[in-house]
């Protein structure tokens, strides 16, 4: 058993508490990882607010990390101690019908099929003060050590800087893949991206990599526009600068609506605006942000031919694709380092969430 620090969410609505926890050794088919770096994603914020369904407290959040294999359980063959890895919040078991379908990336072992609050044998590897602590999406990267199933671990290049590629565990991969894999953005097309956090800016990078000729970045925080332009946005629009709905503004700017729109926030009104802003015949709208409420739409928006689709982790088959993305990063095919705004010590995890809430 390893004793180490972890940020525990004891109950919804409370800040994280940095505690000493016990992390049990890996059982058969499991991997224990020393987490070196983790990003903070809005999904973790949804947990703390208690708005993410099927999550059980107390829990160690975090799902965007990178680390080094510390030990392996019986039967594990794809990684060994000392390997650099990214734990995967979307597993790839390789055996279910979704994993065997080349068009699908949402493994049936994922949280949407059954909750990942305990490891597959329905027990936890975490305890604190004599209490069982739940896992989050199996990965729980807000702990200095974590245990995950082998099929939720991607081995990456030994040259990868873990404090930079931790973003590939969720934010960067999700946004970049939403443009390249889910929307399949075509060269010369026009795109609109709603929300310029880490995921939205990664969508901008994906649209640029796919050869879009016009990328319109939309956010109510104009402080984000400089970075959006640096990453490839051609236009930046603040909805608060207009008296009319943003979908009307975008339709006028493009004469017919954009070819592709992406919602990377998770709000009902922006989701509808993104759908309405893509052209009514062949426009594709991709839902990237996690919605925490139901949505109702006018079916006429879809009747004329628009496509509305969602994406999980950017459509990547995680175990085979995340290592390739890391290799592309090492080959300097894109610069995801620009997404990193602050680097904080682990003890200041709550300050990280304050920066997130402040839009910084």
Minimal CA–CA distance to 224: which of 252, 204, 207? 204
**Residue 241 CB neighbours (<10 A):** 10
Instruction: Using pLDDT thresholds of 50, 70 and 90, give the confidence band for residue 52.
Output: confident
When pLDDT is averaged across residues 224-230 and rounded to a whole number, the result is 97
d(CA 156, CA 152): 13
Q: Residue 271 carries which DSSP code?
A: H
Minimal CA–CA distance to 294: which of 41, 51, 42, 48? 51
pLDDT 10s digits, 273-290: 999 999 999 999 999 988
Mean pLDDT of the chain: 96
Residue 327 dihedral angles phi and psi, to the nearest 5°: -65, -40
Instruction: Using pLDDT thresholds of 50, 70 and 90, give the confidence band for residue 53.
Output: confident
Does residue 333 carry a pLDDT above 80? yes
Domains and CATH numbers, the chain: 2-169+317-358 (3.90.180.10), 173-312 (3.40.50.720)
Query: What pLDDT score does 155 carry?
Result: 98
pLDDT 10s digits, 177-211: 999 999 999 999 999 999 999 999 999 999 999 99
Query: What pLDDT score does 85 carry?
Result: 98
d(CA 195, CA 331): 28
Does residue 7 carry a pLDDT above 80? yes
User: What CA–CA distances, in Å, run from 189 to 4, 212, 273?
Assistant: 50, 5, 19
Query: What pLDDT score does 290 carry?
Result: 85
d(CA 92, CA 98): 9
Does residue 117 carry a pLDDT above 80? yes
Minimal CA–CA distance to 229: which of 241, 211, 214, 242? 214
Query: What pLDDT score does 291 carry?
Result: 82
Instruction: Using pLDDT thresholds of 50, 70 and 90, give the confidence band for residue 293.
Output: confident
When pLDDT is averaged across residues 128-141 and rounded to a whole number, the result is 97
Instruction: Using pLDDT thresholds of 50, 70 and 90, give the confidence band for residue 104.
Output: very high
Cis amide prior to 58 (ω within 30 degrees): yes
Instruction: Using pLDDT thresholds of 50, 70 and 90, give the confidence band for residue 269.
Output: very high
Does residue 147 carry a pLDDT above 80? yes
Q: Residue 178 carries which DSSP code?
A: I
pTM for the full model? 0.96
- As given in the structure block, the two tokens for residue 175 are 């946004």
CB 6 within 8 A of CB 142: yes
Does residue 11 carry a pLDDT above 80? yes
Query: What pLDDT score does 55 carry?
Result: 93
């Amino acid at each position: 058993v390893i004793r180490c620090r972890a940020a525990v969410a004891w109950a919804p609505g409370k800040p994280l508490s940095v505690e000493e926890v016990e992390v049990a050794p890996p059982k058969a088919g499991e991997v224990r990882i020393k987490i070196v770096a983790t990003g903070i994603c809005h999904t973790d914020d949804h947990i703390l607010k208690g708005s993410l369904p099927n999550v059980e407290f107390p829990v160690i959040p975090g799902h965007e990390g990178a680390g080094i294999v510390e030990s392996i359980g019986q039967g594990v063959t794809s990684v060994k101690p000392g390997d650099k890895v990214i734990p995967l919040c979307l597993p790839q078991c390789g055996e279910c019908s979704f994993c065997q379908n080349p068009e699908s990336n949402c493994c049936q072992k994922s949280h949407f099929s059954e909750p990942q609050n305990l490891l597959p044998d329905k027990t936890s590897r975490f305890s604190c003060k004599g209490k069982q602590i739940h896992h989050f999406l199996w990965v729980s990267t807000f702990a200095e050590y974590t245990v995950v199933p082998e099929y939720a671990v991607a081995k990456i290049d030994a040259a990868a800087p873990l404090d930079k590629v931790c973003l590939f565990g969720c934010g960067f991969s999700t946004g970049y893949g939403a443009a390249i894999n889910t929307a399949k953005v075509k060269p010369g097309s026009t795109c609109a991206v709603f929300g310029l956090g880490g995921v939205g800016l990664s969508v901008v990078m994906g649209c640029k990599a796919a050869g879009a000729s016009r990328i319109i970045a939309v956010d109510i925080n104009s402080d984000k526009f400089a970075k959006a332009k640096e990453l490839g946005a051609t236009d930046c629009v603040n909805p608060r600068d207009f008296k009319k709905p943003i979908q009307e503004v975008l339709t006028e700017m493009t004469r017919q609506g954009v070819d592709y729109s992406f919602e990377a926030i998770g709000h009902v009104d922006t989701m509808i605006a993104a759908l309405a802003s893509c052209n009514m015949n062949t426009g594709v709208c991709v839902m990237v942000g996690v919605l925490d409420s139901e949505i109702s739409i006018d079916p006429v928006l879809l009747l004329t031919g628009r496509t509305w689709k969602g994406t999980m982790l950017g459509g990547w088959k995680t175990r085979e694709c995340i290592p390739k993305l890391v290799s592309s990063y090492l080959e300097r095919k894109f610069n995801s380092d620009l997404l990193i705004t602050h680097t904080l010590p682990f003890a200041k995890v709550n300050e990280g969430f304050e920066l997130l809430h402040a839009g910084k």
